[in-house]
Structure 1
Amino acid sequence: MKKLTLLFLAIAFQLSFAQTNRFIYQVTMKPDANDKASEFTEKAYLDISPTKSMFYGEKRMLRDSLISRNIKTGNWDRSQFEDLRSKIDFLVIKDLGTQKTSIQQRIARDNFEYEEDRKMVWKILPETTKIGEYKVQKAETEFAGRTWIAYFAQELPYQDGPYKFSGLPGLIVKVEDADGDYSFDLQETKKIAQMAEFQTFGSTVKLKRTDFKKQLAKYEKDPIATIQSQSQGQGFGGGRGRGNGGGGGGNRTQDPQRQKETEKRMKDEIAKNNNPIEKE
């Protein structure tokens, strides 16, 4: 009887460990360096399974779900997407076995994926405090042109965290940059049946991080030219799908006045996004 009890407990432990855990963060951002009073907040999810983790915006998940439903029904209403525009329009996927981190992001009509090639080196400090129900310890790192201060909880045995942050002996409960422009704060935890799945809506081009930055800079300099190039099959993916926050595209002829208004809106949005999370 005792052996059966121990076996049951062992199986229950393994099943519990095999579950996917979802950690819900509130992300606070000040993307416009010229208007620090303008602050945006969004919810983001960090799903952790035994083999990998994935970080993504809640609005990204809701938007992809809506797109999939509209494809099936053929009922497209663009007004449904107005509240789903996101500043967390990317996926961060960490392979917990190889310790490799890859980022998937769409630029206009093309999907891109690159592997993070910079190692995050932490300095663990003796300072401890309490955040919510967790006792946490302080750590610091220099990454992508910013100084980051993190607080991790050893009672949450995951060497992981939001965005690209990982490598501490416990889940990162809070992390913020020294300038106060970006912060990630754990709000809720739950167990889920399986990790979220996303459709790419076209092929994905894998490239180096430095080359991805060049493509992004090219788009930010002239978004309309980038979209037109991709629409004519001159982009990397040559795919046909929905655009990201940068807008659509396609071979449809647009009214000149409307196209001019769209171009102005896109350039205004890019101009206000002059304080990115990664400065380098």
Structure 2
Amino acid sequence: MKQFYIPFIFLLISSLVPAQELTDKFKYKATYDLTWQIDSTNSESIQNETMVLFIGDKISRFSSEGQYIADSIKEAYKDRERTQQSFNEMRSKMPMSALNFYVFKRQNSAQVSFTEKIIKDNYRYTQDIDDLNWEILHETKEVAGFVAQRAKASFSGRDYTAWFTTEIPISEGPYKFRGLPGLILEISDNDDYYTFKLNGFKELNDEIFIEFDPEDYLEVSRERFLQIKQEYAENPFIKMENSGITMGFQPGQKEKLLREHREELKKENNPIELE
């Protein structure tokens, strides 16, 4: 049985920080395997991604590992001379990721911030997720070497089963999930369309410093963000052109690409949040 002891002060630290900026040092890293079905009508349309959850005293940050690595590479190159060679070198080191969002959760607060970049614009919306009304059950099993206990809840149109452990007494989890008396090790919806499963947890020897400044993002409502994303999905060329990106098309090529894109879009009909 594994046991992680979290300093008591960690559980008591307030999240009362200035709204305009939030800084923290991450102390723990949880890695999850995410498996999801992008087309609800095709059981073979499965995608996999490694996700990372960094946990600090004030905030946690959740993203794909690929996005985290790519942004770290960009940060390392930002002060270098901007040449085609340095750009190509940077791009060659970046991993591919199907997911480019971040979820920030404030400790001891209902506030959850979601950020995502669409072309050149970084969007952010904030929502309060007070309580998922978890039903904690007596059933237990082993997950990733920890004794885990079962819990159930509903979120954004889906019913979920989670497995959490009090051996890691941190009320955190992947994506927007949290609120249990221990780290969520595994969670999946009842249709098994989305499954997050822990494959590693460690205390960070070298603390990772994070600065989250909301002013770096275009603040919109969640409803407006979903509208913007839908508009981009239906016609990405308009968003590109509005962002100053010029593209040269042969006659009829743009229309052909748009038709093909919309056909592919029909297969991406199974978002994690339905409401």
Q: What TM-score bracket applies, with the shorter chain setting the length?
A: 0.7 to 0.9
Percent of aligned positions with the same letter in both sequences? 26
Structure 1 stretch displaced more, 146-155 or 131-140 = 131-140
Task: Map 1:71-220 onto structure 2 (within 5 A).
Answer: 71=78, 72-73=80-81, 74=83, 75-77=86-88, 80=91, 84-119=95-130, 120-192=132-204, 193-195=206-208, 197=210, 203-220=216-233
Partner of 2:41: 34
Is 1:254 the counterpart of 2:265? The answer is no
- Structure 1 outlier segments of 4+, above 6 Å: 14-19
Q: 1:256 to 1:15 in 2, by over 3 A?
A: farther
SS in 2 for 1:43: strand
Structure 2 residues not aligned, in runs of 5+: 1-5, 12-24
Give CA-to-partner distance per residue, 1:228-255, whole Å, 9 cap, x none.
2233xxxxxxxxxxxxxxxxxx2x3424
Q: 1:117 to 1:99 in 2, by over 3 A?
A: closer
For 2:270, which of 260, 272, 275 is the aligned residue? 275
Q: Which has the higher helix share?
A: 1
SS in 2 for 1:256: coil
Partner of 1:242: none
For 1:44, which of 23, 28, 51 is the aligned residue? 51
When normalised by structure 1's length, the TM-score is 0.77
Asked if the contact 2:26–2:208 (Cα under 8 Å) also holds between the matched residues in 1, the reply is: no
Asked if the contact 1:61–1:198 (Cα under 8 Å) also holds between the matched residues in 2, the reply is: no
- 1:223 positional shift: 1.7
Structure 1 residues not aligned, in runs of 5+: 1-11, 232-249
CA RMSD for the aligned pairs?
3.1
**Counterpart-to-counterpart distance in 1, 2:222 and 2:102:** 14
Query: What count of residue pairs does the alignment treat as equivalent?
Result: 249
- 1:116 positional shift: 2.3
SS in 2 for 1:77: helix
Q: 1:33 to 1:196 in 2, by over 3 A?
A: farther
- 1:275 positional shift: 0.8
SS in 1 for 2:45: coil
**Counterpart-to-counterpart distance in 1, 2:229 and 2:247:** 25
When normalised by structure 2's length, the TM-score is 0.79
Asked if the contact 1:64–1:199 (Cα under 8 Å) also holds between the matched residues in 2, the reply is: no
Asked if the contact 2:36–2:47 (Cα under 8 Å) also holds between the matched residues in 1, the reply is: yes
- Matched to 2:248, the amino acid is Q
Q: Which has the higher strand share?
A: 2
SS in 1 for 2:207: coil
Asked if the contact 2:52–2:65 (Cα under 8 Å) also holds between the matched residues in 1, the reply is: yes
Asked if the contact 1:30–1:38 (Cα under 8 Å) also holds between the matched residues in 2, the reply is: yes
**Counterpart-to-counterpart distance in 2, 1:68 and 1:256:** 36
- Matched to 1:87, the amino acid is A
- 1:172 positional shift: 0.2
**Counterpart-to-counterpart distance in 2, 1:82 and 1:130:** 37
**Counterpart-to-counterpart distance in 2, 1:89 and 1:67:** 14
